Amino acid sequence: MGFADLSSLAYPWDTLGDVRATARAHPGGVVDLSIGTPVDPTPGVVREALAAAVDAHGYPATHGTPALREAVAGWFARRRGVPGLDPDAVLPTVGSKELVGLLPSLLRLGPGDVVVHPETAYPTYDVGARLAGATPLATDDVEAWAGRRDVRLVWVNSPGNPTGEVADTDRLRRVVDAAREIGAVVVGDECYAELPWSPRWVSPDGTSRVPSLLDPRVTGGSHEGLLVAYSLSKQSSMAGYRAAFVAGDPGLVGALLATRKHLGMIVPAPVQAAMTAALGDDAHVSAQREVYGARRAALSEALRGAGFAIDGSEAGLYLWARPADASPGPAGAPAGATSRELAAWFAGLGILVGPGEFYGPAGRHHVRVSLTAQDDAVARAVARLTSS
């Protein structure tokens, strides 16, 4: 892909000027349920750790401090059912989006290589493949790529953005087995794993049962060819910290580490200290999940009352909504409305949502509704939907 081609990669959210203008013109003000940026305070345990580490006069370690890497390994064992992760196979990243966008390039993929990603997905998977010169393939069907030697990277997003769907261990194992047969790398983007909603994925104590790609039931006991990307943005309200990590295959992590050292892709030392504290404190994660759960319950009821069905949405920060089949649909919304037409309908109520088409053709009749708004804003959205 040539440099001149980069101009074609328009950022989807920049195309919503008319919808934003309509929503902002609402006499009651806009309620933004579009981009899922956390709005709640960063936990005190995190801020205190950051403040204590501000005397960061030396260069931080690209590999991360031993304390951080051990905290990640401990978190995987305690919260994700992944015992025995080698701390050396952990690498902090500057948020997870840069890793998603740059990983095909960091793995030296290029023309002739294929990158598989979910059919309905975060657009950065596609963009990252194309920036590397590789070819993206959007599919949820393992048989669509099994046996293909040109497939070099397979993305799994569970819980999924925007659909909130969760892959069980059997599904993950099928992906891993097929990828290992052709020598492809599998990367699990698991950034929403601590926010389960479906009873199937919630333990009696409220912790997550969402399986990880690194779960022994999936890996057969080996992390070879496997990586997991994770972010603290959602579970710990740390989006502004750009605090994330990748972990798994020691060989792959070592190769990424060497490249990132050359490029100076380093998480600042105070942020590393804050990450260590966040990963060692489960209480704030549970408290944040309760906050999102209350917002989710209120918005779900209001959406259904307004004529919408909610698909997937088993975990994560979004509701994947469409006009219900068995109802006339939202009042005033055209029959068979496209996702942009639905977004315009919501904008008429002063509510911003994300058109499903941003996530691929399969989302063309859905909208993504975020749970990341303050309680008073959610209450306004509920009132508007209820009276629509």
One domain for residues 112 and 161:
yes
One domain for residues 107 and 222:
yes
> Quick check: is 334 in a domain?
yes
> Quick check: is 222 in a domain?
yes
One domain for residues 91 and 181:
yes
> Quick check: is 292 in a domain?
yes
Which of 264, 281, 298 terminates a domain? The answer is: 281
One domain for residues 157 and 226:
yes
Instruction: State residue 8's pLDDT score.
Output: 60
Domain coverage including residue 226 = 54-281
Instruction: State residue 7's pLDDT score.
Output: 56
One domain for residues 29 and 62:
no
Number of domains the chain is built from:
2
pTM over 0.75: yes
One domain for residues 104 and 238:
yes
One domain for residues 146 and 76:
yes
> Quick check: is 367 in a domain?
yes
Tokens 């599904």, located at residue: 171
One domain for residues 276 and 333:
no
> Quick check: is 46 in a domain?
no
Which of 281, 303, 330 terminates a domain? The answer is: 281
Instruction: State residue 308's pLDDT score.
Output: 93
One domain for residues 227 and 311:
no
* Structure tokens, 85: 């992760």
The pairing of beta strand 318-323 with beta strand 367-370:
antiparallel
One domain for residues 241 and 132:
yes
One domain for residues 269 and 306:
no
- Amino acid (1-letter code) at residue 220: G
* Structure tokens, 243: 């605090």
CATH number at residue 328: 3.90.1150.10
Query: pLDDT truncated to tens, each residue of the chain (388 aa)?
Result: 444 355 566 777 777 888 899 989 999 999 999 988 999 999 999 999 999 999 999 999 999 999 999 999 999 999 999 999 999 999 999 999 999 999 999 999 999 999 999 999 999 999 999 999 999 999 999 999 999 999 999 999 999 999 999 999 999 999 999 999 999 999 999 999 999 999 999 999 888 999 999 999 999 999 999 999 999 999 999 999 999 999 999 999 999 999 999 999 999 999 999 999 999 999 999 999 999 999 999 999 999 999 999 999 999 999 999 999 866 566 667 668 899 999 999 999 999 999 999 999 999 999 999 999 999 999 999 999 999 7
One domain for residues 249 and 340:
no
CATH number at residue 264: 3.40.640.10
> Quick check: is 48 in a domain?
no
Q: Evaluate whether 227 touches 248 at the Cβ level (below 8 Å).
A: yes
